[in-house]
Each structure stands twice: as structure tokens, then as C-alpha cells.
Amino acid sequence: MQNKNSNNKVASRRGFLKNMAASVVAAGALAPAALRAADDPIIMKEQEWSTKLGLPVDKNLYGVPSPYEHNVVRRVHKLLSSGDMYASVAMCPIQDLEGIITPNGLFFNRCHGGVAIVDPNKYRLMIHGLVEKPLVLTLDELKRYPTESVIHFIECPANGSTEWRAPQFNTLQFIKGMMSQAEWTGVRLKHILKDLGIKPEAKWVLAEGNDNSHMGRTVPLEKIMDDAMVVWAQNGEALRPEQGYPVRLLVPGWEGNLNVKWLNRLEIGDKPWHAKEETSKYTMLMPSGKAIRYFWPMEVNSVITRPCPDKDWKGYKAGDVIEIEGLAWSGHGLVKGVDISFDGGENWVEAELKGLVLPKAWTRFSYIFKWDGKPLLLSSRAYDEVGNVQPTIDQEVKKMGVENIYHRNAIVTWEVKANGEVNNVHIRS
């Protein structure tokens, strides 16, 4: 049996070679007429990369994106900084993101005194104040606690702040790019605190960073003992310096600024602190002249990412069936659903959620649409687990005015023109 088998193999190899020779002759005969008008030359001709060696495996020992992706970057604008690029923000290119995880190098970066580069060997976390046992942990000791990994967005409450008066940007990156999402790994603070003997009068916690700005924010103890974590990893690797390497606070669903980066101190107290970022800034001045303070959660929100001003419909024609896709999120819990309007908010239909639907996390939504080639006013409106619905611009401005800078979550509308061009517009009464 074995011999017969091997004879068969030999026979079939010979047959294969014979056929090969014949096909080479045939191809040669056809060669001069090879390219027909309908033939794509990219298919008809071998490309450079398929006819030579690629990069050796030891070329990028920490991988980098394809050089062709060099335009997918964070971007900055002088008007969004306090005088320079140290107290400033670099916006996430959410128009170019897929799914719900932001690559670490593209995660938006807001800091108040530059990106500190902290030596992890000199990292210490101190917990003190109204506790029986004040504590110091090194990074190694911190990492001994049982870990959890959770997926949450972090959004600066100033996201969309340039839109209060009128539309001003025509790129999604600057309309909604002050946010990103990652899988965060760390320890729940309740595991660390439960053994420290928190005193009964304790109600508030000051979380402070060790960067240039020594940024501090007050967090209620209830949140700290609920889902707050100290995290040291994002998307499987150590935090990037821009995200507070080696350790940041994670307060799921809350203002980005409260997720204190370069965290080195937690002080337990009986009163809130009223730090610079909860008095002079991160307070919402209302038309009454009074300001809301301590507005912690990021409210329900959404935006259509395909199409958007960056990803237009110029390549489509009337009759094409197109997927409309976007991101919805809420710091109050799950996104329960998203509605889509094609007429600037007069009539709405329900979109589908897709992929992972997680609490306090970006959620993708989708709507399959047959375009008749006519202009549209395309809007999305999310609603969440606590029953909150994204307001119209009129509804939001009527209550909040235009001077509170933060927490803008009004419905975003794209004008889709007949030629497929997409523009950022506002719908106002």
C-alpha cells in the first residue's frame, strides 16, 4: 500500500509539472494583450511588496502602524490651549477609529502642566487623612492586589465646548474628539481601603497627581467605595505617560479630569476640598449667574461617525445601500438605544446597537439605509439606562445657556448634500 501510494504521488507530481509547462506556454502566448480596459493594473501586475522581502521581524521590536497611516494622529489647536502646548489638549481622531477601543497612541491627551515622565521605581501611592492606618504602597505592592479589567470611556467635560454658540469645526476630531476608550486594568479602591480603618465622619476623598500641576479633585467616598479603581494598564500594556504612567485614578463614567493622572495621594476627609479644577474651572456658569459645581457624570451622548465631515458619501450614488454607524455613550449606565433622524429631528427611527454593550462605555450603533441621493439632515439621539435622552440644542441651551463650557451633549446633526459632502450644522428654532 505504501509503495502504491508513493507511486501515485510521483505520478501526480509529474502530471502537475506537465500542466504547469502547458499553462506557461499559454500565458506567454497571451502576454501582449494581457491588459484589457476593464482590468485593474493593480491586480494584473505584481506589486513591489509581493516581489521582495519584507521587513525583518526584529525591525520594530515595539510595533508601529503602517507608514501609510501617518495621517491618523492626535491633533491640536492653539485656541484649545491655555497659552501653550503644556496646559492643552490633543484630540483623538475618532473619525478614523473602528470598534470601541482606542489604540493607546491615539488616546486623547489633556494635561494641565505637560506630560510628566515618572520613574516607576520612585512611584509611591499614599493614602492618609481620616483613616486609622495611613498607607504607602510602591508600584510593585500596588500590583499585588487582585485585579480587574474594565472597559470605560474617558471624556473631558469640555468635549464639544466649541459648539455652544454655533458650529465652528468641520471635522469630527474637533467636534467630539476629547474622548477615548480603553480596557483598564487595576484594583478597586475598596480592596485597598477596607482594611485601613476609615473613620465614621469620612465623606470625601482628595485625589492628587504628582505632575507639574499637582492636579487635585474631590471624589465622594461613596464613589471611591463603589466602582473607582486605581489602574496601571490600558489595553494590555502599561499606561502611556499621557494617561498618567504609572498610575491613574479611574472613576467610571465621570469627567475626564476626575480620573487623576500620575496619582500619588488620596486623602480621606469630612469635607470637599474645592480645588482649582472645581472652582475656577470645571464649573458650569448658568444664565442665572450661578454655577453648577461637582457635575461628575458625563451624560448620555452620541455622534454618527460614518458618515461625518471626514468620512463623506462622495463615493456613493443614489440607490446605494449604506451603513450609517456611530458611537453612543453614557456615564449614567448602559446605552439603551439610539434613534436616527434624516430630516433634522422632526421624525426618528430606531437604530440597532452592535458589538459589546457595556455600562459607562462607548457603544456602536448601526442603521442600514438606502440613499435616494437627496440631501439629508442626519442626526443621532441616544438614551440610557436612567431614562435620560440626548436633548436638542434648543432644549439644552434653554436650560444651560451658552457660557457653561462643559457637559455639552446636545444632538449632533450632519448635513449630507446630494454630492455626498457632509457638513457639521446646528438645528435651531
Partner 1 sequence: MFILDLKKISGVVAMALIASSSLIAGGNEIKLKTPSLEERAIDGAIKYEIKDGVYANTYRVNPKAYKMAPKYGRAATPNEIKAWDIDVRYDWQGLPEGKGTATEGDELFEKHCAMCHGDMGTGGNGYPKLTGGDISTLTNQLVDPANGDEPPERSIGAYWPYASTLWWYVKTGMPFPHPMSLTNDEVYSIVAYLLQVEEIQIDGKDIEDDQVIDKKTLMKVVMPNVNGFYPEVNGPDGPQNMKKFLSDPKNYGTPTTRCMKNCPKGKVVHIKAALDDGIIPPSTQIKDLPKEKASGGDGADSKAAKLFESKCNACHGNAAIAPVPGDKDAWEARIKQGQETLYDHAIKGFQGMPPKGGAADLSDADVKAIVDYMVGKSK
Q: What is the footprint of partner 1 within residues 63-82 (CB under 8 A)?
A: 67-71, 73, 75-79, 81-82
How far, in Å, CA of 374 to CA of 280, rounded? 47
CB of 415 to partner 1, least distance (A): 7
Binding flag, residue 176, partner 1 (CB under 8 A): no
Segment interacting with partner 1 (CB under 8 A) among 3-11, 22-30, 61-69, 319-327: 61-69
Q: Scan residues 98-157 and list those touching partner 1 (CB under 8 A).
A: 112-113, 126-128, 133-138, 141-142, 144-146, 148, 150
| Size of the residue set binding partner 1 (CB under 8 A) | 140
At position 402, the amino acid (one-letter code) is V
At position 183, the amino acid (one-letter code) is E
Among 18, 191, 231, 254, smallest CA distance to 104 is for: 231
CB of 401 to partner 1, least distance (A): 5
- Selected from 409, 412, 414, 416, the binder of partner 1 by CB under 8 A is 409
Binding flag, residue 366, partner 1 (CB under 8 A): no
CB nearer to partner 1: give 239 or 396: 396
- Selected from 152, 176, 223, 306, the binder of partner 1 by CB under 8 A is 223
Contacting residues for 90 by C-beta, under 8 A, at least 6 apart: 74, 75, 76, 108, 109, 110, 242
Supply φ then ψ for residue 270, to 5 degrees: -100, -5
CB nearer to partner 1: give 9 or 314: 314
At position 363, the amino acid (one-letter code) is T
CB nearer to partner 1: give 15 or 236: 236
- Selected from 165, 317, 354, 374, the binder of partner 1 by CB under 8 A is 165
Cβ atoms of 335 and 369 within 8 Å: the answer is: no
Binding flag, residue 374, partner 1 (CB under 8 A): no
The verdict on whether omega for the bond into residue 246 sits within 30 degrees of 0, i.e. cis, is yes
How large is the C-alpha radius of gyration of the chain? 27
CB of 38 to partner 1, least distance (A): 25
Q: Scan residues 295-354 and list those touching partner 1 (CB under 8 A).
A: 295-297, 299-300, 310-311, 331-334, 336, 339, 344-348
CB of 256 to partner 1, least distance (A): 15
CB nearer to partner 1: give 204 or 371: 204
First to last CA, the chain: 86
Please give the C-alpha separations between residue 242 and each of 89, 110, 112, 213, in angstroms, as whole numbers: 10, 8, 11, 14
- Selected from 101, 161, 170, 366, the binder of partner 1 by CB under 8 A is 170
Cβ atoms of 305 and 358 within 8 Å: the answer is: no
At position 304, the amino acid (one-letter code) is I
CB nearer to partner 1: give 39 or 140: 140
Among 362, 355, 351, 340, smallest CA distance to 414 is for: 340
How far, in Å, CA of 297 to CA of 321, rounded? 37
Sign, CA torsion 23/26/32/34: negative
CB of 238 to partner 1, least distance (A): 19
How far, in Å, CA of 223 to CA of 261, rounded? 17
CB of 383 to partner 1, least distance (A): 6
CB of 273 to partner 1, least distance (A): 5
CB nearer to partner 1: give 32 or 83: 83
